[in-house]
Structures are given as C-alpha cells and as structure tokens.
Structure 1
C-alpha cells in the first residue's frame, strides 16, 4: 500500500500545521487549559471558518466530502499543539456516528450544525465490553408521548461544551438505543470532572427522568450496534493520529533542547547516548505514523468489520505506545527541568497518559484482535 500523501493532502497537513502553530501556541494553550471551560473559543471559531468540522462529512450535510485520511492529518496537528478545542469529540466521534446513522431527520439536522462548527456534539462511547453500549447501565422507557431516559454516563468527552449529547441506552427488552439529548433538557445534569489532562475536559452526565420526543431516538437495534462499533474503530484511528502528533512534538522539543543544552562545553545533542535515545523516539514515532496512515487508508475503502477492527487496533496500540514513550523520553532528556511547570513536556505526558484510557486501553484492543484471530470455525469432517 502506498502511504505517501497526495499534493492536496500534503497541503492540508502543511496549512493545518502553520495555522495551529500560530493560533494554538503554548501560551494560548496554557491560558485555555487553566480557564473554567478549558475552551479556546477564538481557536474554535477559526477552525469552524476553515471548514474543518466537515472534513470527512458528505457535501450534502455541508461537509467537504473528504475522508479519514484528511481527518487524520488534522487530528495529528491538533495533537501536536494540544489544541484546547472539542474537535475530537464533536467531529471525530459525534459527527461520525451521525453520518453513519440512516433515516433520521434529526440526526441529519444536527450533523449539518456540527459540520459548520456552529454547534458542538458529544458522544458517550465506551469500549469496556464487546458491544459499545453493553457496559452502560442506562434505561429508556417508552411512553405515550416519547421516551423517558434515566441513568448515568461516568465520563463523556467535551460534554460540558456540547449543545447536543448523544447518549446510548438500553430499552426495556434489552435492545440498544441512541438518543440525541439537547443540552438544556430538563433533568439533564452535566458535572465537569477534574482530570489529569486539563487541555481536554471530561464530564459526568446524568439523566433523571428526562422526557424526550419520539424522534430523539435516532438509532436502535442491531444496526445501531454496528454503527457504534464502526464509530469506535474510526474514533480510535483519529485518536491514534492525535497521539502521533503528541509523539512528534515531544521529539521536536527534545531535539531543540538538546541542541542548546551545553554540558562539558558541548551541546548534549552530540553525545552518542542522547543520539541513540532520540533515534529510538523517531523509530517509535514513524512506525506509529505508518500504522495510523495505513488504517485511515483502509477505512476509506469501506472495509468489512473484521478488517477495520484489526487495523484500528494496530494504529491505536502503536500510537499509544509511541506517545507514552516519547513523552517519557522527552522529560528524561530535558534533565532536571523536564518535569517543571515552566517547560512543556509534562503537558504532553499528561495528554499521552489520559488518551491511553480513552476508547479502550491498548490491552483491550489487543484482546479484540486475539479473539478475532482465535475465533475460527471448526473444521468440518
């Protein structure tokens, strides 16, 4: 497979890098991450004006009609700059699941709003069990006028910023359901959580007898299970791209510091031990980037579920390990200042650690692949 970028794709990557280096410089990141909302609203407006919210969405929904590769390129640069915006949660997750849902007028309306960046969405997606909704202890009851939703979703990315919450639940007969719950719904409570990574916010979502119209149930049954599973896999690829950006920036910070840090009257960049450790960072980074780009290319060919799962797992595991390794090495190679608040490596370590727990841990993804490889039919005699 040829993983080289086309001229158009390279222009997207280069323009995104240039824009974010200025619009999401570290002083702006620190200011936003220390604010009450955690949102860089000016950056989010700029992203909306550039049309990034619809990068992988069809033109019929106001999108750009591109694909996962282009989404991955944006995610990589956003991760590299630790951008304090709900792009991953609103675009890579919420917009993706709305795109995959068939036959819902309400889903289409919200999709168009997310594509323009006018509205923000948040999807409560979990990967603790084989089905994305199996571990969610939430019940929805059918009423004469619609639905009543009760339950709790412990950790939902960007929920406090969202205009619409996409909440999975289980019906009375055990079938999977997905609801679009407006942020101002009566009985809906969103409690921000204090987390390790202040550049990306999570919140606890609770529903206490939230009454919803019939049309707010935008998906159900086995078809919804398939949509959520596919969204989980596509989301994992997008998150892996962000982790590649984290690893890249950790390497860049380390190389810049090593070139100016002098020991024994020589820059430490000339020491063989430092060179070897930087080379190991580069190998981990490029291996992860290849896995992520390859998974994105596969995703754009609409593969079967087993193929997409395999490549999503490969990208997710490789990128998680690369981000964590490069962040730890960056701190070590910065010496005594590496863990101080004034230097940036600790912010990238926080993002790497926090992201390793989103959408399933690497161990969970490896288990899915192992089950897939071992689940072979018995030979017929």
Structure 2
C-alpha cells in the first residue's frame, strides 16, 4: 500500500493549512469558544465555499467525489487548528451515512443539502451494547418518535438530525428529523473541550412521515457499523493533527526558552522526549493514512473495523501523550490559560471518548481474532 500523497492531495493539505492558519488562529479560537454558541460561523461559511462539506460526497449530489483519504487529510488540519465548526459531526458522520443511502431520493436530497452547505446535519450513533432509549411506533401512514439521545455532537447547530430508534419488531430504523420538529427538544451540555459543542436531544411523540424513515433493518445495522469505523478514522486523523500541533508548540517553545545561556531544546533529556513525541506521531499518522486508504477500497467489514481500531488507538495515544508532554516541557507556564497546550489536551481527551473508548475498539479486534466464528 502506497501511503505517499498525490500532488492533488498535497494541494488539499497545503490549501487547508493556509486557510485555517489565517482563519482559525489561537486568538480566534479563544474568542469564539468564549462566546455564547461557541462556533465560528464565518469559518464555516468559508470552508463551505471551498467545497469541504462535500469532500467525499458523490458529484451527483454536488460533492467533490473524493474519498476517505481526502476527508482524513482535512480532519487532520482541522484538528491541528482546533477549528470551532461542526465539521466532524456533519461531514465525517452524517455525510458518511447519507452517501451510503444516496440511491434513495430523501437521503440523496439531504446529502446534496449537506454537501453544498445549505443545511447542517448531525447523526446520533447508537451506543454499542447499551440499552436503546428511543422507540419508533407506527402512527397512521407515518411514525411517532419518542426517546432520548444523551450526547449528540453539534446538535444545537444542526438544522436536520439523523436519529436512530428501535421499532416494535426489534429492528433499528433511521429517521431524518428537522431540528425544529414539534415535540423535539435540544438541550446544550457543558463540555471539557470548549471548541466543541454537544447537546442532549429528546423526542416526545414527534410525528414523522413514512418518507422520513430513510433506512431500517439489518442493512441499517451494517451501515451504522461502517459509519462508526469511517468516522473513527476521521477522528483519528484529527488526533494526529492535535499531536502534530502539540509537538510544534513544544519545539518552538523549547528552542526559544533559554537555560544556562542555551536553548532548552539543546539538552539531551529534552531532545529524547521530543523524539518520543515524534515517533508516536508518525506511527499514528501511518496507521491513519493506511486505514483511510483501505476504507477507499470498499473492504470487508472485519478488515475495516481492524484498521479503524488500529488508527483510533494509535492516534489517540499519540495525542494524549503529545499534549501531556507539551504541558510538561513548557515548564511552569504549560498548564496556564495563556498558553495553548491545555486547549489541545482538552481536545485529545474529549476525542478519546467519542465513538466509544479505546478499550471497546480493542475488545472488537480481540473478539475477531480469538473468538471462534459462529
């Protein structure tokens, strides 16, 4: 597998890095995250105009028709700059699910709205092995939705929600629900990472038409599983961006900080710790790029899950290690509000619990490798 970027992919990385450096600086991040609402509308409009919302959506739905590799490259840069936009929830999650349903008119229309930036979307993934807390009951020619989705990323910014619920026959169904639907309540939640938004969504007898059920049954279960894996690869790419910025901040600070008339970075002990950060980072980047390349080949579900598990594990560990080391190597100022390492530590820590913790991913791989087939 060739993990070298093509010229087109390098242009994507360079243009994304340049755009985000200009529009998502440390000062801008702090300003936006301190405001009510906590998201950067101007930045969102800019990346929408660049076509990022349709990065891996088909051209038939006005997307760019690219792949998971390009999605991961953008996510890496967004993580490096802590962009205060609902990109992961809308594109890495919602668009990934919708593009698998693009042969259905309702889903295709929704994906076109998402890809063009006309509307913002958020997808609730069912918690693995958790008891379902949302039910869908037939009501006349349509459905009635009741339940709760306790932690839905960027729900308060979304105009359309993709909500899974359990039917009376025990099968999952996925519903496309407007955020302003009667009986639907969205309650913002405090988060460790102030650059990300999260909310609880609850439904009380929300009436839905038959066409708003865009998927159901065993096919939906497979779709949600593959969506979780692809989104995990995108999240892992974001963690790589976090780890890269933690290393860059630390290197810049230790080169500037003087001790005994020498830069701190010249000391052997500091060099070793910076080197360990780099090794963890590059190991994670290789795992993420490899998983993204595999995801673009339509692999078997088992292979996709193993690749996603390796990517999210390596990248999360690299991000957590790199941000903690960044705080330590910044010395007495490392944990202060004025310096940035704590912002990246918060993002790394919050991401470590998105899409299930690392122990869950390891358990899935262990079951594949050790449990006999049914």
Same fold (TM over 0.5): yes
Distance across 2 between alignment mates of 1:153 and 1:316: 24
**Which residue pairs with 2:111 in the alignment?**
111
Distance across 2 between alignment mates of 1:276 and 1:126: 42
Distance across 2 between alignment mates of 1:367 and 1:102: 32
Q: Does 1:343 align with 2:367?
A: no
**Which residue pairs with 1:57 in the alignment?**
57
SS at structure 2 position matched to 1:83? coil
For residues 259-274 of structure 1, the aligned pairs below 5 Å read 259-274=255-270
Distance across 1 between alignment mates of 2:166 and 2:280: 41
What displacement does 1:126 show?
3.8
User: Contact (CA 8 Å) 1:126, 1:135: kept in 2 or not?
Assistant: no
User: Contact (CA 8 Å) 1:126, 1:359: kept in 2 or not?
Assistant: no
Distance across 2 between alignment mates of 1:220 and 1:135: 18
Structure 1: 5+ residue stretches without partners: none
Distance across 2 between alignment mates of 1:343 and 1:126: 37
What displacement does 1:135 show?
3.7
For residues 75-90 of structure 1, the aligned pairs below 5 Å read 75-90=75-90
Q: How many residues align?
A: 374
Q: Does 1:137 align with 2:133?
A: yes
Q: Where in structure 1 do 4 or more consecutive aligned residues deviate above 6 Å?
A: none
Q: Return the match for 1:200 from 181, 196, 200.
A: 196
1:330-374 CA-to-partner distances (Å, cap 9, x unmatched) read: 000000100100000000000000000000111100000000111
1:53-90 CA-to-partner distances (Å, cap 9, x unmatched) read: 01111100110011000000000000000000000000
For residues 211-290 of structure 1, the aligned pairs below 5 Å read 211-290=207-286
SS at structure 1 position matched to 2:203? strand
TM-score by length of 2: 0.98
User: Contact (CA 8 Å) 1:17, 1:77: kept in 2 or not?
Assistant: yes
**Which residue pairs with 1:95 in the alignment?**
95
User: Contact (CA 8 Å) 2:187, 2:201: kept in 1 or not?
Assistant: yes
User: Contact (CA 8 Å) 2:102, 2:108: kept in 1 or not?
Assistant: no
Distance across 2 between alignment mates of 1:138 and 1:232: 19
What displacement does 1:143 show?
1.0
Distance across 2 between alignment mates of 1:126 and 1:175: 13
Distance across 2 between alignment mates of 1:345 and 1:317: 21
TM-score by length of 1: 0.97
For residues 293-308 of structure 1, the aligned pairs below 5 Å read 293-308=289-304
1:3-55 CA-to-partner distances (Å, cap 9, x unmatched) read: 00011111111110011011111111111111111110010000000000011
Distance across 2 between alignment mates of 1:161 and 1:376: 44
Distance across 1 between alignment mates of 2:131 and 2:101: 21
**Which residue pairs with 1:161 in the alignment?**
157
